[in-house]
Chains A and B, each alone.
Chain A
Amino acid sequence: MIDILYFAWVRERIGLPKERLETDAATVAALVEELKSREDRYAVAFADTSALRVALDQELSDFSASLVGVREVAFFPPMTGG
């Protein structure tokens, strides 16, 4: 089981902040494809992954990264702190 978190407009487009999923996806990119095939709202949110960032277990990562051993994946737009 993997926890998937969504923030900012990704959260708004998908319509929930967090969900738990059973997945065989080996990489972030494969997980994104799996999510996109589920429902339109995911396809809309993940239409352009170059506009998104991903964190694995709360560390910034990238879409080609492996999900082996990962417990928490977060998707969000580029950060706007400060």
Chain B
Amino acid sequence: MSVRVQSEPFDFGAECAGFGQGGKNVGAVVTFLGVVRDDSGTLNRMEIEHYPGMTEKAIAAMVNEARNRWSLADILVIHRHGSLKPGEPIMMVATAARHRVAAFEAAEFLMDYLKSRAPFWKKEVAADGAEWVAATDNDEIALKRW
């Protein structure tokens, strides 16, 4: 189990290579990569602010909850903060389990919780101004299924 909160880029391929494999009890690995999206075509950068200390605690609590709910061989969560360019990786989640249902469900659970319960705030900076990304009702609805 590993959680990393960092400003540095990460290499998704290198992180995935070998993750959760090699153990006799692992039959499924699910990985998710979130990247900076530029809907308007004018995005200069995305600035991600976080709450040092609480961020790590909140993610650790989510990872523990996932381990309680599903039988998982391994979990990896990486989330960046700082200034990111369009197309750059923001965050990733990887889960390893005996069967794919547990790996998929745990990855979705972690994604839903990271979205609205980990203290990160995204600001989109474009040529014509900067705007904080607003949370949506769907973010809260997504939590209800868990």
Contacts and interface: CB of A to CB of B under 8 A. Distances in A.
Contacts of B111: 82
Contacts of B90: 82
Given A7-B121, A55-B51, A58-B53, A80 B114 contact: no
Nearest to A8: B121
Interface in A38-80: 55, 58-60, 74, 76-80
A81 B116 contact: yes
Interface of A: 5, 7-9, 11, 55, 58-60, 74, 76-82
Contacts, number: 72
Interface stretch (B15-23, B64-72, B97-105, B127-135): B127-135
Interface of B: 34, 49, 51, 53-54, 57-58, 79, 90-91, 111, 114-123, 132-135, 139
Main secondary structure of the interface of B (DSSP, over half): mixed
A77 B115 contact: no
A79 B121 contact: yes
B37 to A, nearest CB: 12
A5 B52 CA distance: 11
